[in-house]
Structure 1
Amino acid sequence: MSNLPATTPIADLVRWAKMRWRIEHDYRELKHGLGLDHFEGRTWRGWHHHVTLVTAARAFLTLRRLGPPDAGLTLYQVLDTLHDLLRCWTGICTTCGRTLPTSRNRT
């Protein structure tokens, strides 16, 4: 049952159905594994900070899972990865605070 055209291939329908399962799985992991549902504050700013940290933790774990296997991480490896994530998300260098060029404003 779908509102897609009748000519939509079955393979696409199956792929989209599996995508929904993946989204639900990721949301459950965010809630139970990383504490998305543990926020008990009352302000928008506090909620936003909490969700940002949970999202950063999820991105970090995904990068580690997809990266090469190793025996463990040093503190500096964790910090380097977090700096890379922050640079990607904010467009601001975490060392000097300058705005980094993006594909839109790159000359």
Structure 2
Amino acid sequence: MAPPAPRPGDQLASTACTTRVVVIRAPADAPVRIECGGKPMVPADGAPPPSGTPDAGPGTILGKRYVDAADTIEVLCTSPGSGQLTADDAPLTIKAAKPLPASD
């Protein structure tokens, strides 16, 4: 059975490493499969401890926001890990910070 579609506010945990995220934005019209380290992420409540070895990747960084190329899904990393975040097999990248306005 596939995990339910993520919704904003959902807390997800990796089954491959120690990564945990909070969903900030997700498309309502199309379910997205979020994975970390090549394994599906599951709801953080009652998540089993990570097992196995995650697929090679850059890992996740605490406090960073990750987005897909179309900017339709956004997650916030609340616990770092060694797995790479993906959405429907496409890698998520760190969201660029918005520049602060110039002060006069």
TM-score tier (shorter):
under 0.3
Query: Greater share of helix residues, 1 or 2?
Result: 1
- Give TM-score scaled by structure 2 length: 0.21
Query: Greater share of strand residues, 1 or 2?
Result: 2
Structure of higher CA gyration radius: 1
Q: Which has the higher contact order (CA 8 A, sep 6+)?
A: 2
- Give TM-score scaled by structure 1 length: 0.21
